[in-house]
Amino acid sequence: MNVETISSAQNPRIKHLLALQQKSSLRREEGLFVVEGRRELEHCLHAGMQVECIYCLDETKTTELSKLSTDSTLYTLNSKLIRVTPNVYERIAYRGSTEGIIAVIRTPQPRTLESLLQLEGRGVNGKPLFIVLESVEKPGNLGAVLRSADAAQATGVIVCDPLTDLYNPNLIRSSIGAIFTVPTVACTSGQCIAFLKEHGIQILTAQLQDSHLYYDTPMAGPTAIVMGTESTGLTDVWRQAADAHIRIPMLGQLDSLNVSVSAAILLFEAVRQRQS
């Protein structure tokens, strides 16, 4: 098989790859995004996403592709392989320990809220469990929340009024591919509230004011845990829609935790209650 090799960072393909990494507008316009690392690409493939092309550091790195899936998938991946020299890979890689693999992926059709309830095997004991994030801005925070949601086998993550796109390279990297393993939907707060109430899913908002300790709040039934930004918290629309307000006790001098840490604590309290 004749594989193209790129040795210049000025190559049009490399410039296009860098633009996809840096510009959310281009990702939306072309329906493409970038995945870096064998583990992340493996999760992407298992989610059924379409690979456009793969940039591989050198011939030795092609062995990493053989670990991904079946022979037929390997043939498909090899047919889309582009080798790059070390100087080019250093230019396009976000980090060094990614097995020398970067892929361009076709963006899938977005999920709907209703589709979240049609997925079998999600949620502990079959009861829906959602993390809802309002106006999350930092891709790293969202990625970390997705990792916790995967670990807790949450039904899904709902991102309301998002300020970052779901295929931001920083988000994919910080989630270690959990964006491909956890069903995730972006929508408005109004759409999410209507969906939750229609399906009888209790809304628990994480906030300091007028709240109860999280471990004193029942979470064994269908539940959505709603969190805002660390700087401004939740808007009034969520406070008013909530069935209960919950808080994590803060025993030190600070009054808040990182949103991803808070999400992990609350998710696993729900898991504990459902398993006891």
First to last CA, the chain: 56
In the structure encoding, which two tokens stand for residue 172, read together?
């994919």
Same domain, 87 and 199: no
| Pairing relationship of beta strands 50-56 and 101-106 according to DSSP bridges | antiparallel
Same domain, 29 and 165: no
C-alpha to C-alpha distance for 185 and 35, rounded to whole angstroms: 19
pTM of the model: 0.90
Same domain, 61 and 125: no
| Structure confidence at residue 70 (pLDDT) | 47
Same domain, 9 and 138: no
Question: Could you read off the pLDDT of 143-199 as tens digits, one per residue?
Answer: 999 999 999 999 999 999 988 889 999 999 999 999 999 999 999 999 999 999 999
Q: Domain limits at 52?
A: 4-106
Domain containing 268 — which CATH number? 3.40.1280.10
Q: What is the largest CA-CA distance in the chain?
A: 66
Last residue of a domain, one of 62, 88, 106: 106
Same domain, 183 and 50: no
Last residue of a domain, one of 106, 123, 154: 106
pLDDT grade, residue 72 (50/70/90)?
very low
CB–CB of 159/136 below 8 Å?
A: yes
Domain containing 78 — which CATH number? 3.30.1330.30
Same domain, 11 and 64: yes
How many structural domains does the chain have? 2
| Structure confidence at residue 209 (pLDDT) | 83
CB–CB of 226/247 below 8 Å?
A: no
| Structure confidence at residue 77 (pLDDT) | 61
Same domain, 122 and 196: yes
User: What is the layout of strands, in order, in the sheet containing 81-84?
Assistant: 4-6, 81-84, 50-56, 101-106, 32-36
| Structure confidence at residue 75 (pLDDT) | 43
Same domain, 171 and 213: yes
Same domain, 166 and 184: yes
Closest CA to 207 of 241, 170, 244, 260: 244
Same domain, 117 and 27: no
Last residue of a domain, one of 76, 106, 136: 106
Question: Could you read off the pLDDT of 222-263 as tens digits, one per residue?
Answer: 999 999 987 777 899 999 999 999 999 988 887 778 899 999
| Structure confidence at residue 119 (pLDDT) | 74
Using CB atoms within 10 Å of the CB of residue 89, give its burial: 0 to 12 exposed, 13 to 18 middle, 19+ buried.
Answer: buried
Same domain, 155 and 38: no
Same domain, 261 and 153: yes
CB–CB of 248/255 below 8 Å?
A: no
